[in-house]
Structure 1
Amino acid sequence: MNEGKASAGAMTALGATVVIWAFSWIVMKLVLRYAGPFDFSAMRYAMGAAMLFVVLIVMRRPLAPTPLAGTIVTGLAQTAAFQGLGQFALTAGGTGRVVLLAYAMPFWAVLLAWAILGERPVARHWIGLALAAVGLTCVIAPWHGLGNPVSTLFALVGGMCWALGTVTSKQMFQRHAPDPLTFTAWQMAFGAAGLGIVAFLVPQRPIEWSAEFIAGLAYSVVLATSLAWTLWLLVVRKLPTAVASVSSLAVPVLSVLMAWAVLHEAPKANEWLGMAFIVAGLVAVSGVTARTPPR
């Protein structure tokens, strides 16, 4: 019973994370009208980390740093590299396209988890990955070219970095069992430091402190950063890496629909077909979520 409740709780956390992050990409695109990509990302994660440390103090949770090697690698990979590269890719690419390229992450995560954690994919994982791969190929439509090559490359590499961060997070929980909130705060702090260095070195446009920018920053800090990343680490801890990673493909599907509604980026016929395959992939892996694997 407890195992079932833990799995159900992890799936609820995953669903909330999907919705928050899907709209986050719309916000990330909109704030580029008022700030440079690395300035915004550095501010977002510095403020998010600070907020989490305040929460830790109020809740009297552990403040001591989690094991440094795994925490730093996770922070630089899934916070600094993924978010920084993804935000930069949005400067030259459409929201739907960038998010779909970045969310090729599950393909890298499943392979890295197999190599590093020994999590051998089962039949459902391979079926889900195959369907999702067909879906992403339909959406990207490489036979029509890859659009802006810099945006495409940065989005893909960002997804690879997130995959590495996902696997190192799982490894941290398996080896050291850190408090999820403490681990989130520290990895985010290290990631924010890395983004701050990049923001200092790369010339960008001055920040325009408009009401829209402040609202976008608030959404990104409170919901998309502090809350969603904590929920994501809980998901990674409770569910198999393949399940968590492939299920996260619901984010680009929702983002494409939200970009259509908010940014008027209407999906093409091949994108609708691709999203159908992605949803089929999610259904294929859903059957493995009933049990949490032994830890």
Structure 2
Amino acid sequence: MSPPPVLLRTLPLVAAAVTVLLWASAFVGIRAVGHELSPGALALGRMLVGSVTLTVIVLAVRARRGRPVHRPSPGLLGAVALWGAAWFGLYNLALNAAEQHLDAGTTALLVNVAPVVVAVLAGLLLGEGFPVRLLVGMGIAFGGVVLIAATTSAGGADVSGVLLGLVAALVYAGAAVAQKRLLTRIDALRVTWLGALAGTAALLPFLPALLSELGTATTAAVTGTVYLGVFPTAIAFLTWGYALSRTSAGRLAASTYAVPPIVVLLSWALLGEFPALLALAGGALCLLGVAVATRRTRQAPTGSVGRPIPAA
């Protein structure tokens, strides 16, 4: 007996909402735990927990299906490994380091420029061109970044935090474009699992730091690291994949705009941190630039990369 149509329409929306909330909470979690764990140690701790969780899920799915799984070719495995090292390794490092200098809300606003970078990469690598709306959106988003940088500098914050946030956005954008190509050759669950394992392996040089810092970390910091690994890393990717497989990418991409406001509110409520008003204005410009640059025309090109959500 198939589920009711109303349920089939509702579940993807619920899954997308869960993903948005979990990824938004990650910005706040990173900021909280980052006071006790260094960027590399936090990234490795999070990915160790996330990789174990994803491995358990993959084994459970395989046992339920009860049939052999086609093994990817060595070349495809290598591509997934490079993607995972960048997405789960370098991105997490840059994001964690950025939040050593900036509050969670400001960081989320900066990372949100990633969709504009994705559109640029799509024009360069996927032949989607550079329409006027993209160029205008880039200019608006750049103005927002400049305003955020000027505000944080005037407020005594290290501008390196802004630069690290932009590095995270660049890495995320490149990973989003690469993931689109990988998903044409391998399913989302295995891409996420193998990429997480590769990211964990790339972060292993930080193992001594992780072991040393865990020895003096509070229970709250350890719990926060486990939370980041299980929920924003493992569970959120699965709920996002479920939603993406059952609705249009364009509709899901609208949830991008909900992440920074949720981060700002959570950071205010849980950490007592709130971005400067001019930084919020800069973030609004970034969001406007993203909206203009990634607005779909009536006849969007086939294979468009769409707008990725600023994962954390």
TM-score normalized by the length of structure 2: 0.74
Name the CA shift for 1:83/1:279 in 2 (closer, same or farther; >3 Å): same
The structure in which a higher percent of residues are helix is 1
Partner of 1:85: 94
Q: What is the CA–CA distance in structure 2 between the aligned matches of 1:63 and 1:188, rounded to whole Å?
A: 19
RMSD: 3.9
Q: Is the 8 A contact 1:57 1:63 kept in 2?
A: no
3-state SS in 2 of match to 1:248: helix
Partner of 1:191: 199
**Per-residue deviation, 1:229:** 2.9
Q: Is the 8 A contact 1:102 1:158 kept in 2?
A: yes
Name the CA shift for 1:79/1:6 in 2 (closer, same or farther; >3 Å): farther
Of 54, 66, 70 in structure 1, the residue corresponding to residue 79 of structure 2 is: 70
Alpha-carbon displacement from aligned partner over 1:196-234 (angstroms, at most 9, x marks no partner): 224448997454353312331232112110022344566
Name the CA shift for 1:107/1:294 in 2 (closer, same or farther; >3 Å): closer
Alpha-carbon displacement from aligned partner over 1:24-78 (angstroms, at most 9, x marks no partner): 1111111123322212211211221121121111111648457223212211111
Q: Please, which runs of 5 or more residues in structure 2 have no aligned partner?
A: 1-6, 304-312
Q: Is the 8 A contact 1:65 1:186 kept in 2?
A: no
3-state SS in 2 of match to 1:93: coil
Name the CA shift for 1:7/1:86 in 2 (closer, same or farther; >3 Å): farther
Q: Following superposition of structure 1 onto structure 2, how do residues 278-289 of structure 1 map, counting pairs within 5 Å?
A: 278=286, 280=288, 288=296
Q: Following superposition of structure 1 onto structure 2, how do residues 1-295 of structure 1 map, counting pairs within 5 Å?
A: 13-60=15-62, 62=69, 64=71, 67-120=76-129, 129=138, 131-141=140-150, 144=153, 147-174=157-184, 176=185, 178-200=186-208, 205-232=213-240, 239=249, 244=253, 248=256, 250-278=258-286, 280=288, 288=296, 294=302
TM-score normalized by the length of structure 1: 0.78
> Which stretch of the first structure deviates more once superposed, 36-45 or 192-201?
192-201
Letter in 2 for 1:189: L
Q: What is the CA–CA distance in structure 2 between the aligned matches of 1:160 and 1:123, rounded to whole Å?
A: 21
Name the CA shift for 1:13/1:285 in 2 (closer, same or farther; >3 Å): farther
Larger radius of gyration: 2
Name the CA shift for 1:228/1:143 in 2 (closer, same or farther; >3 Å): closer
Letter in 2 for 1:19: L
**Per-residue deviation, 1:293:** 6.5
Q: What is the CA–CA distance in structure 1 between the aligned matches of 2:10 and 2:290, rounded to whole Å?
A: 16
Name the CA shift for 1:54/1:69 in 2 (closer, same or farther; >3 Å): same
Q: Please, which runs of 5 or more residues in structure 1 have no aligned partner?
A: none
Q: What is the CA–CA distance in structure 1 between the aligned matches of 2:116 and 2:189, rounded to whole Å?
A: 27
Q: What is the CA–CA distance in structure 2 between the aligned matches of 1:68 and 1:42, rounded to whole Å?
A: 21
Work out the number of aligned pairs and report it. 287
> Which stretch of the first structure deviates more once superposed, 45-54 or 278-287?
278-287
